Structure 1
Amino acid sequence: MRTIKQQHRAISAPIDDLVTYRALPTRAVEHLDPFLFLNHHGPQTYPAPNRGLPFGPHPHRGFETVTFILNGDIMHQDSGGHQSVIGPGGIQWMTAGSGLIHSEISSDEFKRTGGPLEILQLWVNLPAKDKMTAPHYTGLQEPEIPTVSLDEGRVLVHAVSGEWAGTAGAVQPLADVQLATINFQAGGRLSLSIPAERTIFFYTIRGRLRVNGQETEARQLVEFNYDGDELQVEASSDAVLLLGHARPFGEPIVAYGPFVMNTEAEIRQAYQDYQAGKFGVWQG
């Protein structure tokens, strides 16, 4: 079995009136190559009316954002002309690539009526060869994401990317990154074989789990060693897990604000390109 190196508790990092816990990066863990960043927004209930999410227009280059909407919604718009409103159970996969501007705010309906909100956003690095690829966006509602039922229905795997129990995920990304959200009923069990050289991303969203002999709970990120290929998970309560794995790129990571590149010179170029209007024109 893969051994556990350390567990990291997400830190409180509120943004305006948005309850936020940051699981990555923290003082204890900078990144889990190629996974760079995870913010867990909520759970909370917004009143009616409300201002909604605070993520107005901002640029990105050099990586991908994967957003999981558990409750509430997100209205996406970007300088590539993409627009969508994604509701509970849906995901957004945005390849920033060479650069674009986007906003992620609440729909007019949510701002009018309020309600429960819980959203996770994960940043996944791109390898150097793909950092300047053309930007791309995919927004999918819950029914568009394949679900795999395991352990007599006590484990439901929502296959976001890659392949899970022989089922292809909804998105096939540039790099071999496998991601899923997994719902467990208490007592549900999941066994997976993940090659030892791959980085595992294991973040408990809700509930309590036991993984490879250790207990973990909501808002904890489990960091694994690279020494085994077996993963065994058992739910101590009803639980929701964000699980991913990928081969680490092993490349230099230089991150500054909304840009993630391989050198400081590339970061400077990103700022110059953004200021020169090369990330597209914002039509908000």
Structure 2
Amino acid sequence: MRTVVSVHPAYRNDIGDLVTRRPLPGPGVENVGAFLFLNHHGPQAYPPNNRGLPFGPHPHRGFETVTFILEGELAHTDSAGHESVIRAGGMQWMTAGRGIVHAEVSPAGFKRDGGAMEILQLWLNLPARLKMTAPRYIGLQAEGIPAIEAEGAIVHLIAGAFQGETGPVESLTGTMLGWVELREGEVTFDGLEGRDVFLYAARGTIEVGGRQVPQFHLAQLSAGDSVTVSASEPALFLFGHAEPIDEPIVAHGPFVMNTVEEIRQAFADYQAGTFGVAEIVEG
């Protein structure tokens, strides 16, 4: 059974008027294996006639982004021709691969009317053999994501398997990923031997092996084949596990590669226009 080795608080790194906490990377933890980066935007309330999210067109190469829309809405467009507006309870999984430009902004209706907003974005590493794969995008509304009832919990399964069910996204690297709503009770995940395990408390306080993980904290776990997460009050946490990628990680800005030369090439390719162009479509 896995236990908590260390707990790391997210640090505030607001982007303009967007409340932002970043638990990964942070002091004491650069990455959790294949899990590279997490931004937790909100929770906050936007007033009417707001400017919305500030993430205009920008490039990526060499990894994947998974975005959880807990509250509010998110409009996506990219240079591969994908467009969507994902509502609360939905998610989007984008494989940047060899290179993509995307924009993530608030739809026109949200900027006009305002409302609650809470969004989390997680970066997943790709091994060298997949860093130049073709870009891919999958956007799902809440109704397209299995909500699996476990004792005292609801597991919103995006990728991988849990209790005999499979998530709608087929991960290129065999990653299991989802978010869990805990009432007063517990949930156990098995099949973790030898895998990188990601655990972040987004709402409320959770407990693993007798140690508390407060809201806005990331937990690093010991080795083992299973983990049980419990709560004595309503809580929500992100959970995932992935095969280790035993390769160098060289990250600079929007690119994650294996060597400095590959980073230089990524910048050169982007500046040469090979990633394409993404127009902002606000829905």
1:77 paired with 2:73, answer: no
Residue number in structure 2 paired with 1:9: 9
Aligned to 1:171: 169
SS in structure 1 at match of 2:76: strand
TM-score (normalised: structure 1): 0.97
Q: How does 1:15-34 map to 2 (within 5 A)?
A: 15-34=15-34
* Structure 2 counterpart SS, 1:274: helix
One-letter code aligned to 2:161: E
Match of 1:189 in 2: 186
Q: Which residue of 1 aligns with 2:121?
A: 121
Task: Report the equivalent of 1:213.
Answer: 210
Residue 66 of structure 1 aligns to a residue whose secondary structure is strand
CA deviations 1:20-43 (Å, max 9, x no partner) are 000100121100110000000000
Q: Does 2:109 correspond to 1:109?
A: yes
User: Distance in 2 between the 1:281 and 1:63 partners?
Assistant: 19
Q: Is the 8 A contact 1:155 1:188 kept in 2?
A: yes
TM-score norm. by structure 2 comes to: 0.97
Check whether the contact 2:156–2:178 (CA below 8 A) recurs between aligned residues.
yes
Residue 244 of structure 1 corresponds to: 240
- The CA distance in 1 between the partners of 2:61 and 2:244, in whole Å, is 19
- Report % sequence identity: 53
Is the Cα contact below 8 Å between 2:131 and 2:257 reproduced in 1? yes
Question: Aligned partners of 1:107, 1:67: CA distance in 2, in Å?
Answer: 16
1:126-145 equivalence runs, <5 A: 126-145=126-145
Q: Which moved more, 1:187-196 or 1:29-38?
A: 187-196
Question: For residue 256 of structure 1, what is the aligned residue in structure 2?
Answer: 252
Deviation at 1:278, TM superposition (A): 0.5
Corresponding residue for 1:272?
Answer: 268
Task: Give me the CA root mean square deviation.
Answer: 0.9
Q: What is the distance in 1 between the residues matched to 2:49 and 2:73?
A: 15
Aligned residue for 2:23, secondary structure, equals strand
**How many aligned positions are there?**
280
Give distance in 2, aligned partners of 1:27 and 1:15. 19
Q: Residue type of the partner of 1:254?
A: V
Deviation at 1:47, TM superposition (A): 0.2
232, 235, 259: which one aligns with 2:231:
235
Question: 1: distance between equivalents of 2:94 and 2:72?
Answer: 19
Q: C-alpha separation between the residues in 2 aligned to 1:283 and 1:85?
A: 14
2:153 corresponds in structure 1 to 155
- Give the unaligned 5+ runs of structure 1: none
Aligned-partner residue type, residue 251 of structure 1: E
Partner of 2:37: 37
**1:6-58 Cα deviation digits (max 9, x unpaired):** 10000001001000000100121100110000000000000001000000000
Distance 1:107 1:194 in 2: 40
Matched residues in 2 for 1:252 and 1:259: separation?
14
Structure 2, unaligned stretches of length 5 or more? Answer: none
Q: How far did residue 225 of structure 1 move?
A: 2.3
- Partners of 2:240 and 2:171 lie apart in 1 by 13
SS at match of 2:69: strand
Runs of 4+ in 1 over 3 A off after TM superposition: none
Q: 2 CA distance for matches of 1:212 and 1:170?
A: 30
1:241, 1:164 → 2: CA distance? Answer: 16
- After superposition, give the CA deviation of every residue in 1:61-113 in whole Å (9 maximum; x if it has no partner): 00000000000010000011110000000000000000010000000000000
- The answer to whether the 8 A contact 1:2-1:196 is kept is no
The within-5 A match list for 1:86-105 is 86-105=86-105
SS in 1 for 2:200: strand
Distance in 1 between the 2:193 and 2:160 partners? Answer: 17
Question: How has the CA–CA distance of structure 1 residues 194 and 214 changed in structure 2, closer, same or farther, with 3 Å as cutoff?
Answer: farther
Alignment check: 8 A CA contact 2:75 2:105 kept: yes
Deviates further, 231-240 or 250-259:
231-240
